[in-house]
């Protein structure tokens, strides 16, 4: 069991406090000091008496800290943060600005094991899962650096549902009223399509928004782009999404990266409509962002508009996500790619 107090929910802290022979209300105080006040040293948990703080320290308990190792800003307002972890692993988070909406895209793994052919992170391969403290800690570190965050999306490095337990715990921690109190509708978990994990998440007592990285309207093409589709083809995936929507009672988002000459024709847009029209959903269209070693090119504005027109024409809410942060390799699919050193 982790000795990192930041890695524990309020319920887990209660169990620890009770086991020490103390009143469980102290767990709420510990949680608030760490997740609301930002305390990063056991000795500074001043709502606890000195003997309890000494006992925690002697027992090896600590409060982890995620420090920013590099910060890059794009002229369009996008900011990318790089974090070097205690074991030398490297992750990245990105702040995206859209009017008053300031979204932080956070990572859940060091590298990624899903091997999607258009994604730079997949080229790094999976190195390890992040802890809940490391996931939530990205939010705290970015806010401590002066950024105001309104929304959090689990769309950075790694596949969130391949690190299910830590991701769900981090959702609970970020959503907790005694901590940052991020509204559940402001937390979005994205997945490449691990159907059993989607169904498992549907059975939880907490339901973040769900986004599905779809990217192709047929099993043949999707399996070429995203190997996970060979294990969980479109019917299996979409049935799981339907189950999640039934339980969560929320709209879902389908993300579709447009690659020139591969998945961006009007005919393919029509096939996409047939796949998703049964859902209460919105479709995010994303121009492919190039990176070294990848042969693909983005579709371009004219082709994206034609594709979007077909989907919108079917009455499906459609957003064209503008290319943001590409000069600092912070755009969708570029995290972990070699970027400029500043």
Which pLDDT tens digit goes with each residue over 100-134? 999 999 999 999 999 999 988 888 899 999 999 99
Average pLDDT over residues 292-317: 92
pLDDT at 43 over 70: yes
Does residue 34 surpass a pLDDT of 90? yes
Cβ atoms of 258 and 285 within 8 Å: the answer is yes
Whole-angstrom distance, CA of residue 184 vs CA of residue 206 = 8
Q: The sheet that has 209-213: what strands, in order across it? A: 68-73, 79-84, 90-98, 101-105, 151-154, 187-191, 209-213, 252-258, 281-287, 317-321
User: Are 137 and 65 within 8 A, CB to CB?
Assistant: yes
Shared-domain flag, residues 180 and 89: yes
Q: Is the pLDDT of residue 51 over 80?
A: yes
Does residue 178 share a domain with residue 41? no
Cα gap 87→339, rounded to integer Å:
22
Q: Cα separation of 40 and 330, whole Å?
A: 29
Handedness of CA 251, 201, 96, 323 (dihedral sign): negative
Q: What is the CATH number of the domain that holds 206?
A: 3.20.20.70
Cα distance between residue 241 and residue 191, in whole Å: 11
pLDDT reading at 84 higher than 60? yes
Q: Are residues 156 and 53 in the same domain?
A: no
Question: Domain residues for 20?
Answer: 5-58
Which tokens go with 167?
Answer: 């991701």
Do 40 and 165 lie in one domain? The reply is no
Average pLDDT over residues 49-69: 96
φ/ψ of 154, rounded to 5, equals -90, 75
User: Residue 1: its pLDDT value, please?
Assistant: 77
pLDDT at 291 over 80: no
Indicate if 11 and 119 belong to the same structural domain. no
Query: Is the same domain home to 114 and 134?
Result: yes
pLDDT of residue 262: 96
Mean pLDDT estimate for the chain: 94
**161 and 231 both lie in a single domain:** yes
In tens, the pLDDT along 134-157 reads 999 999 999 999 999 999 999 999
More confident site: 175 or 118: 175
User: Average pLDDT of 221-225?
Assistant: 97
Q: Which of 288, 14, 37 is nearest to 144 (CA)?
A: 37
- Same-domain check for residues 86 and 169: yes
**268 within a domain of the structure (yes/no):** yes
Is 241 found in the same domain as 117? yes
Q: In this structure, are residues 283 and 272 in contact, taking their beta carbons and an 8 Å threshold? A: yes
Q: What is the reported pLDDT for 340? A: 42
Domain count, the chain: 2
Phi and psi at 82, nearest 5°, equal -110, 135
Residue 338 pLDDT greater than 90, yes or no: no
Query: Does the pLDDT at position 175 exceed 60?
Result: yes
SS (H, E, C) 232-264: CCHHHHHHHHHHHHHHHCCCEEEEEEEECCCCC
Does 338 map to a domain? no
Look at residue 339 and tell me whether its pLDDT is greater than 60: no
The answer on 213 and 274 residing in a single domain is yes
Asked if residue 332 has pLDDT above 80, the reply is no
- CA–CA distance, 264 with 270 (Å, rounded to integer): 10
Q: Indicate whether 337 pLDDT > 70.
A: no
Residue 294: which pLDDT band, with cuts at 50, 70 and 90? Answer: confident
> What pLDDT, on a 0 to 100 scale, did the predictor assign at position 130?
98
Confidence tier at 331 by pLDDT (50, 70, 90):
low
Same domain, 25 and 93: no
Cite the active site residues. 92, 332
């Amino acid at each position: 069991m982790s000795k990192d107090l930041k890695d524990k929910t309020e319920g887990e802290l209660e169990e620890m406090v009770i086991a020490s022979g103390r009143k469980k209300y102290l767990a709420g105080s510990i949680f608030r000091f760490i997740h609301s006040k930002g305390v990063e040293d056991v000795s500074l948990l001043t709502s606890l008496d000195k003997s309890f703080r000494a006992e925690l320290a002697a027992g090896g308990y600590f409060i982890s800290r995620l420090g920013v190792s590099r910060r890059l800003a794009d002229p369009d307002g996008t900011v990318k943060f790089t974090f070097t972890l205690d074991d030398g692993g490297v992750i990245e988070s990105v702040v995206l600005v859209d009017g008053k909406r300031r979204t932080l895209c956070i990572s859940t793994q060091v590298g990624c094991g899903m091997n999607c052919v258009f994604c730079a992170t997949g080229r790094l391969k999976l190195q390890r899962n992040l802890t809940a403290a490391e996931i939530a800690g990205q939010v705290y570190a970015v806010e401590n650096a002066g950024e105001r965050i309104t929304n959090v999306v689990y769309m950075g490095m790694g596949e969130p549902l391949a690190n299910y337990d830590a991701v769900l715990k981090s959702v609970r921690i970020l959503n907790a009223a005694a901590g940052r109190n991020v509204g559940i509708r402001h937390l979005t978990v994205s997945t490449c399509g691990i159907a059993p994990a989607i169904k498992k998440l549907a059975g939880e007592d907490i339901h973040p928004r769900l986004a599905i990285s779809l990217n192709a309207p047929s099993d043949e093409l999707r399996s070429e782009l995203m190997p996970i589709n060979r294990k969980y083809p479109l019917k299996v995936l979409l049935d799981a999404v339907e189950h999640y929507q039934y339980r969560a009672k929320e709209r879902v988002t389908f993300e579709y990266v447009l690659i020139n000459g591969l998945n961006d024709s009007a005919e393919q847009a029509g096939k996409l409509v047939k796949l998703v029209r049964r859902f209460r959903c919105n479709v995010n269209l994303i121009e492919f962002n190039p990176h070294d070693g990848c042969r693909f090119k983005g579709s371009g504005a004219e082709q994206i508009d034609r594709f979007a027109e077909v989907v919108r024409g079917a009455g499906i809410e459609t957003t064209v996500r503008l290319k943001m942060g590409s000069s600092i390799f912070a755009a969708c699919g570029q995290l972990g790619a070699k970027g400029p050193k500043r």
